[in-house]
Amino acid sequence: MGKFVNNIDEFFKFCEENEVEFVDLRFTDIKGAWHHLTYRMSAVNAENLENGFPFDGSSIEAWQPINKSDMILKPDVPTAFLDPFTADPTIILFCDVYDIYKGELYEKCPRSIAKKALKHAEELGIADAAYFGPENEFFIFDHVEFTDNINEAGYKVDSEEGEWNDPSRFDDYGNMGHRPRTKGGYFPVQPTDSMVDLRAEMMLLLEEVGLEVVLGHHEVAQAQGEIGVVFSDIIGAADNVQKYKYVVKMVAHLNGKSATFMPKPLFGDNGNGMHVHQSLWKEGRNLFYKEGEYGNLSEMALNYAGGIFKHAAAVAAFTNPSTNSYKRLIPGFEAPSILTFSSQNRSAACRIPYGAGEKATRIEMRFPDSSSCPYLAFAAMMMAGLDGIKNKTVPVGPMDEDLFELTLDEIREKGIPQMPHTLREALEGLICDNDFLQPVFSQEFIDTYQHYMFERQVWPDESRPTAFEFKTTYSC
């Protein structure tokens, strides 16, 4: 799998062979949401593929003001793939956003920021390639509803896999009774695993759009799944996350179900993470490998992890950018919130995968989640890691004990740093600690980002009463 075209000439040949009618231009905002506009194939030529397509940047949240709204979408032609869901043949192109006022890639375009991060590593002479392997978990629900009004708030999600449905009577058939139970969803076969055919359809379509699929399985929580795909370079991996989320959501939708990558939709069961495997390379050599060291990790790899841990609060503002993210990062649900590293041990924030040889040695950061914009999440971790390499930052560890068994007092006594506990704490960390992100993340972007997240996530969340607060406070 991989590229379908390599250049503009091949693009037009591919479109002709597949009788393409529409060209769909896609780009990503600072939240990680995918946007698109669609051109008739007849309106697309080599010149606008080369020079770009105009659009209104003021209509995208936290981007341009109305008096400087004209921007350009520059297609990355080798990213082209056929949309498997449209009625008429449509080809999708990933685009970078170009700032006509400054004559450069737009400083608030996440994909452009990730490109700058790799260029920064090259300019430092540290690495010429960075590989990322995200693992995006998701839930599939049969029904979802929520209310958010001045006098009421609430939500309800439902899945026939949920143990809360043990006494339910279903209209079309009886209650079959096979359910994975809370925290019981890891690898049961059918009929307990009810999503086998749905995941298989997702896996086949992911291959159709260019991803190399390895496996699919039920995850720990009820109604939770995961599909494993092969790693790529920093841009390709982030592009693949966008494809992956699109395919998973659409396959669920077309099957009358709803997919979500929300970190913590179920109280009392495991949440959705996006574990991210990472390594730096130079001249074809894995810089994270040193045979005979702990986990075969080089000093550079440890310093990279140390940099991420040192800047964990600021990094979390990008890797865990929702208030819901921190409901996942609590003890008791395999939450990797303790900032140490360990070989094989999944209770540490950084795991060293077992049995990796020279080519496969890497670190796995387990705290990120899929509410993040993948381009910003990967770039932030990489910039923190590069800072750790420059400053030879040494992380706490290794720690091979089960960290989930430690009490909060024991964690403090051992002097183990932790992830921030709220999005507010992460954003305040970003405000105080952002030099390591520059110049890849401009100061204007950082200011825009933290203001946007406070206004759209933190303050609205903090100002709303919850059902739990009524339960515990109403009669006080």
Give residue-wise pLDDT tens across range 134-161: 999 999 999 999 999 999 999 999 999 9
Task: Note if 219 is an active site residue.
Answer: yes
Q: Has residue 279 been placed in a domain?
A: yes
Same domain, 96 and 137: no
Q: Which of 83, 109, 89 is nearest to 28 (CA)?
A: 109
State the catalytic residue, choosing from 83, 96, 99, 137: 137
Task: Note if 364 is an active site residue.
Answer: yes
Same domain, 306 and 380: yes
What is the per-residue pLDDT for 402?
Answer: 77
Same domain, 202 and 280: yes
Model confidence pLDDT, tens digit, residues 163-192: 999 888 887 778 888 999 988 899 899 999
Model confidence pLDDT, tens digit, residues 198-234: 999 999 999 999 999 999 999 999 999 999 999 999 9
Q: Are 158 and 142 in contact (CB under 8 A)?
A: yes
State the catalytic residue, choosing from 83, 107, 239, 364: 364
Buried b (16+ CB within 10 A) or exposed e, 448-473: bbbeebbeebbeeeeeeeeeeeeeee
Same domain, 249 and 301: yes
Same domain, 217 and 276: yes
Task: Note if 428 is an active site residue.
Answer: no
CATH number at residue 381: 3.30.590.10
Task: Note if 456 is an active site residue.
Answer: no
Distance CA 227, CA 216 (A): 4
Q: Has residue 33 been placed in a domain?
A: yes
Say if residue 271 carries a ligand binding annotation: yes
Residue numbers of the domain that contains 183: 129-473
Checking if the pLDDT of 46 tops 90, the result is yes
Q: Has residue 114 been placed in a domain?
A: no
Q: Has residue 1 been placed in a domain?
A: no
Q: Has residue 112 been placed in a domain?
A: no
Same domain, 146 and 88: no
Q: Has residue 120 been placed in a domain?
A: no
pLDDT tier at 381, thresholds 50, 70, 90: very high
Rounded to 10°, the helix 234-254/374-391 angle is 150
pLDDT tier at 259, thresholds 50, 70, 90: very high
State the catalytic residue, choosing from 9, 16, 50, 56: 56
Same domain, 306 and 170: yes
Residue ending a domain, among 43, 72, 106, is: 106
Checking if the pLDDT of 1 tops 60, the result is no
Same domain, 399 and 456: yes
What is the per-residue pLDDT for 354?
Answer: 74
Q: Has residue 117 been placed in a domain?
A: no
Q: Has residue 235 been placed in a domain?
A: yes
| Mean pLDDT, rounded, of the chain | 94
Distance CA 130, CA 282 (A): 9
Same domain, 206 and 81: no
Task: Note if 17 is an active site residue.
Answer: no
Lowest mean pLDDT among 165-169, 319-323, 427-431: 165-169
Residue ending a domain, among 106, 139, 166, is: 106
What is the per-residue pLDDT for 357?
Answer: 84
What is the per-residue pLDDT for 331?
Answer: 67
Model confidence pLDDT, tens digit, residues 354-367: 767 889 999 999 99
Same domain, 143 and 98: no
Same domain, 248 and 380: yes
CATH number at residue 37: 3.10.20.70
What is the per-residue pLDDT for 423?
Answer: 98
**Residues 289, 292, 297: CA angle, nearest 5 degrees:** 30
Task: Note if 275 is an active site residue.
Answer: yes
**Tokens in use for 196?**
């086998």
Same domain, 94 and 133: no
Long-range contacts of 215-218 (CB under 8 A, 24+ apart): 217/186, 217/187, 218/180, 218/185, 218/186, 218/187, 218/188, 218/193
Number of domains the chain contains? 2
